[in-house]
Amino acid sequence: MRAAVYDRRGAVPQDVIVCVEQPTPAPAAGEVLLEMLAAPINPSDVLSLTGHYGLLPPLPAVGGNEGVARVAALGDGVHTLAVGDLVLMPMSGGTWRTHAVAQAATVMRLPAAGTTPEIVQQLAMLMVNPPTAALLLSEFVPLAAGDWVIQNAANSGVGEYVIQLARARGVRTVSVVRRESAMAPLEALGGDVVLVDGPDLAARVAAATGKATIKLALDAVGGSATDRLAQCVAVGGTLVNYGALSGEPCKVAPGSFVFRDITLRGFWLVNWFRRSSPAEQQALYGELAARIAQGELRTRVHATYPLEQVCEAVAAAAVGGRDGKILLVP
Helix, strand, coil % (nearest 5) of the chain? 35, 25, 45
- Give domain status of residue 98, yes or no: yes
Average pLDDT over the chain reads 94
Residue 75 inside a domain? The answer is: yes
104 and 21 together in one domain: yes
Q: What is the DSSP-derived secondary structure letter of residue 294?
A: T
Please state the rounded mean pLDDT for residues 276-305.
92
14 and 49 inside one domain: yes
At residue 312, the pLDDT reads 97
Distance CA 89, CA 67 (A): 5
Q: Which residues pair with 172 in a beta bridge?
A: 148
**Which amino acid, one-letter code, is at 224?**
S
Range of the domain at 226: 129-270
- Tens-place pLDDT, residues 228-287: 999 999 999 999 999 988 989 999 999 999 999 999 999 999 999 999 998 999 899 989
Last residue of a domain, one of 231, 252, 270: 270
CATH number for 117 = 3.90.180.10
Q: Which residue did the predictor score with more confidence, 113 or 53? A: 53
Q: Is residue 248 part of a domain?
A: yes
Both 121 and 134 in one domain: the answer is no
Residues 99, 138 share a domain = no
The three-state secondary structure class of 92 is: coil
- Are residue 78 and residue 113 in the same domain, yes or no? yes
- Same domain for 221 and 106? no
- Domain boundary among the residues 250, 270, 290 is at 270
Q: Please write the tens of the pLDDT for every residue from 141-184.
A: 999 999 999 999 999 989 999 999 999 999 999 999 999 999 99
Alpha-carbon distance of 66 to 214, in angstroms, equals 33
Residue 123: burial class (beta carbons within 10 Å; 0-12, 13-18, 19+):
buried
Q: How far apart are CA 112 and CA 135, in angstroms?
A: 25
pLDDT at 317 over 90: yes
DSSP string, 154-206: TTSHHHHHHHHHHHHTT-EEEEEESSGGGHHHHHHHT-SEEEE--TTHHHHHH
Q: Look at phi and psi of residue 101 and say left if phi exceeds 0, alpha if psi is from -120 to 50, else beta.
A: beta
Cα 92 to Cα 82: distance, rounded to the nearest angstrom: 22
Has residue 290 been placed in a domain? no
Question: Same domain, yes or no, for 119 and 137?
Answer: no
Quote the pLDDT of residue 114. 60
Domain assignment present for residue 28? The answer is: yes
The verdict on 186 and 73 lying in the same domain is no
My answer on whether 154 and 120 are in the same domain is no
pLDDT at 31: 97
One DSSP character per residue, 197-263 reads --TTHHHHHHHHHTS--EEEEEESS-BHHHHHHHTTSPTT-EEEE---TTSS-B---HHHHHTT--E
Q: What is the CATH classification number for the domain harbouring 147?
A: 3.40.50.720
Q: What is the mean pLDDT of residues 55-75?
A: 95
Q: What is the pLDDT of residues 92-145, one digit of tens each?
A: 679 999 999 999 998 888 877 667 889 999 999 999 999 999 999 999 999 999
Is residue 53 part of the annotated active site? The answer reads yes
* Count of structural domains, the chain: 2
Q: What percentage of the chain carries pLDDT values higher than 90?
A: 86
Catalytic residue of the set 53, 161, 285, 305:
53
CB 52 within 8 A of CB 46: no
Same domain assignment for residues 111 and 15? yes
Enter the DSSP assignment of 24: P
Shared-domain flag, residues 234 and 137: yes
Q: Is residue 57 part of a domain?
A: yes
**How far is the C-alpha of 9 from the C-alpha of 51, rounded, in Å?**
6
Q: In terms of pLDDT, which residue wins out, 324 or 148?
A: 148
Q: Are 95 and 39 in contact (CB under 8 A)?
A: yes
Position 293 pLDDT exceeds 70? yes
Tell whether 144 and 263 lie within a shared domain.
yes
Identify whether 197 is part of a domain: yes
Predicted TM-score (pTM) of the model is 0.86
Strands 108-109 and 86-88: antiparallel
In a domain, 133, yes or no: yes
